[in-house]
Amino acid sequence: MGEVVGAAILAHVPTIMLPEAVRKDLNDGKEISLVPGLKKLRKDVFETLDYDTVIVLDSHWATTVEFVITSAAERSGLFTSEELPRGMTQIPYSIKGDPELAQAIASKDEKNGTWITPIADPHLPIFYATINLWHYLGRGLDEKRWISMSVCQTATPEDFIRAGRAIGEAIRETDRKVLIVGSGALSHTFHKLRDLRKHEASDPIHIYSPEAYAYDLQVLEWMKNGDHAAILDDFENFRKYKPEAGFFHYLAMAGALGEEALTAKGELYSEYENSVGTGQVHVWFPKPEGGFPQPKDLVLSRD
């Protein structure tokens, strides 16, 4: 029987891929906390914990009529970002996949009232919400498998949770030990182009609005306290501040880990930081004593 051995909400912002000198130049001469945070997380968790596969809930990979999960045995090549090629160009990657787990997750879609399709096409694009985190946390750990799931852009928050339930159910029925990584931000509104360069420093005073800043801190406090029920219960209020990708990366994680029953307390691996208006942070959720609660095991209609 498989299990989730840890989970995280992690920032993947392009800034982390810039040279240190450039990062400091953009941040009033100081290093952003996101980079040393990832290095510490690798040392504390990704190099020491017993796990087989990392599932990345990729908030940059938008699909339309279904969730898609990578099922190739390997993904490799050079990555240049279409969004920011100046900062992310020809990044080499060689990522071992987990076709068996991907297929198992997809097989649980109908029961959970959703659509998940495994795709093994070697030409399937890859996105920096996966690449940037693998670069810091997976590169060189060649025995570890990494797979990615898309965010369906026509899905509702309920659909995100249903996809997470399918993930949790499939993990339980395999022999895999899994890390779930929600790759994305909290509030996610950019400053406009002509103002943007005034707001590149990491100080959260540059978050797009005081209201978004305040609500991010509230969500973060709930995460630290393990009060995931509060996040889910109050999610309609958070939607006003446009969490990245509709907060797919968190909601699917919560769906896989028991939803309101989830009480894992978040450990901060960075400060809460700004990135041109958006709220960024690394939060690690270690496995509670006794394990994560099981997701709701429901038979749901797709109607």
Residue 226 has pLDDT above 80, yes or no: yes
Structure confidence at residue 178 as a pLDDT band (50, 70, 90): very high
pLDDT at site 223: 98
| 254-258 average pLDDT score | 97
Structure tokens at 216: 């991010």
pLDDT at site 301: 83
Per the CB < 8 A criterion, the answer to whether 151 and 58 are in contact is yes
pLDDT at site 28: 94
Residue 10 has pLDDT above 90, yes or no: yes
Question: Rg for the chain (alpha carbons), in Å?
Answer: 18
Ordered structural domains, the chain, with CATH: 3-286 (3.40.830.10)
The Cα 186–Cα 250 span in angstroms is 9
If you average pLDDT over every residue of the chain, what do you get?
A: 97
pLDDT tens digits, 152-174: 999 999 999 999 999 999 999 99
Residue 245 has pLDDT above 80, yes or no: yes
The Cα 13–Cα 278 span in angstroms is 10
pTM of the complete model: 0.97
| 248-274 average pLDDT score | 98
pLDDT at site 294: 84
| 108-122 average pLDDT score | 97
**N- to C-terminal Cα distance for the chain?**
31
pLDDT at site 31: 98
Q: Check residues 298 and 262 and name the one with the higher pLDDT.
A: 262
Structure confidence at residue 118 as a pLDDT band (50, 70, 90): very high
pLDDT tens digits, 76-107: 999 999 999 998 999 999 999 999 999 999 99
3-state helix/strand/coil string of the chain: CCEEEEEEEECCCHHHHCCHHHHHHHCCCCCCCHHHHHHHHHHHHHCCCCCCEEEEEEEEEEECCCEEEECCCEEEEEECCCCCCCCCCCEEEEEECCHHHHHHHHCCCCCECCCEEEECCCCCCCCHHHHHHHHHHCCCCCCCEEEEEEEECCCCHHHHHHHHHHHHHHHHCCCCEEEEEEECCCECCCCCHHHHHHHCCCCHHHCCCHHHHHHHHHHHHHHHHCCHHHHHHCHHHHHHHCEHHHHHHHHHHHHHCCHHHCCCCCEECCCCEEECCEEECCEEEECCCCCCCCCCCCCECCC
The Cα 256–Cα 294 span in angstroms is 8
Residue 297 has pLDDT above 90, yes or no: no
pLDDT at site 42: 98
Per the CB < 8 A criterion, the answer to whether 302 and 159 are in contact is no
